A = this chain, B = another copy of it.
Amino acid sequence: MATIKEVAAHASVSVATVSRVVNNNGYVSEDLRLRVTEAMHLLDYKPSALARSLRRQESLTIGVLVPGLNQPFFAALATIIQTTLFAAGYRIIICSSEESSDDEAAYVDMLIRQRVDGAIIAPTGRSSEAITPLLSKMPVILIDRDLPDLRVNRILANNFQGGCYAMEHLLRLGHRHIALIGAQPHSASMDQRIQGAWKAIADAGVAENSLKTLISERSEFDVGYAFARDLLRRKRRPTAVFALTDVIAIGVLHAAAEVGLKLPDELSVVGFDDIPLSSYLIPSLTTVAQPIHRMGEAAAELLLSRIKNGHPEPFESLLLDMKLMLRASTVPHRRGA
């Protein structure tokens, strides 16, 4: 691989001159500029980002740490962040911790050694332990999942509001026997969705036993199906389900079909996330959409501004609005259905 020295030799100039034309700063005559660009093309010269980063003391790289690329939401988020940052001249290192705190800590360590200029993190657990080492070393943006007592900027979707929206919707349709099904009990977002649901119950003034919550440690894919199968077979089964995730909702749909319920007439289902598939399900899924695009962009932009301008204490949180997507899976409750 050609180095700047070889280019300089080939063009009979100093390395300083080559550097000037590469970075297009400082004075250099047309004559030499031409000779240098020619030599660069001839030798297929590509400056080493390693050497440049070392000298400039900035890597133009930022770390993105998500709990699981297999979750469509995070895949989409990572893609948006990548697109935004790449356009700004930054590259990203995406790390998928697969919900493991140990892996998360290992990736954090790696990002530090890699001298990334900043990090955008959707943390795995409820504990901030794994990511604290980063905070003193670079700007960090927390995204999607909150952690208490951390002095960082946050980009969050209003999960409380979303939970509220979903439950309000079901209550307004007349449902009074509702099951809430969730997984991942260690996530603050899930907690807030549940809180929102209870808030809607309280605001509507309906009986507290209108809502039953079922939370499992199992994976998203299993839990909806497993819970719903039992639940829907009971004599007094719920008339509506609030699934804390679209993937869970899909499991519920599956179970309902197996049990022989006619959807949506005999069971209304509302999901959460608005993954691409949800509008293609049968029936198409009413769900709460996260402002995923704005989250990704906002995180990227906020991080860049922090890298350029330094600490903007106090650390402010950006709380973005959710949106209820009305589709076919929810209908008014009919007495006797």
Residues of A within 8 A of B (CB): 1, 44, 46-51, 53-54, 59, 68-70, 72, 75-76, 78-79, 82-83, 86, 91-96, 98, 106, 109-110, 112-115, 133, 137, 221, 225, 247, 250-251, 253-254, 257, 276-277, 280-284
Contact = CB atoms under 8 A, between A and B. Distances in A.
A175 B118 CA distance: 57
A70 B70 contact: no
A196 to B, nearest CB: 26
Total copies of the chain: 2
Contacts of A282: 253-254, 257, 282
Scoring A46, A109, A221 by chain B CB atoms within 10 A of each residue's CB, the highest score goes to A46
A46 B113 contact: yes
Contact of A48 (B44, B46, B113): B113
A309 B117 CA distance: 34
Contact of A50 (B115, B277, B281): B115
A249 to B, nearest CB: 10
Contacts of A283: 257
Contact of A96 (B48, B70, B79, B93): B79
B110 A91 contact: yes
20 contacts: A46-B112, A46-B113, A49-B114, A50-B54, A50-B115, A69-B69, A69-B75, A70-B79, A70-B276, A72-B72, A72-B75, A75-B75, A78-B94, A78-B96, A79-B98, A82-B95, A221-B280, A225-B280, A257-B282, A277-B277
Contacts of A48: 54, 113, 115
A250 B44 CA distance: 47
B72 A78 contact: no
A221 B109 contact: no
A113 to B, nearest CB: 5
Contacts of A94: 78, 93-94
In the complex, the 3 A-B pairs of residues with the closest C-beta atoms, listed nearest first: A257-B282, A49-B113, A94-B94
B254 A137 contact: no
Scoring A69, A86, A93, A96 by chain B CB atoms within 10 A of each residue's CB, the highest score goes to A69
B276 A254 contact: no
A148 to B, nearest CB: 24
Contacts of A54: 48, 50-51, 54
A74 to B, nearest CB: 9
A114 B50 CA distance: 6
A38 B19 CA distance: 41
Contacts of A44: 133
Scoring A113, A225, A247 by chain B CB atoms within 10 A of each residue's CB, the highest score goes to A113
Nearest to A47: B113
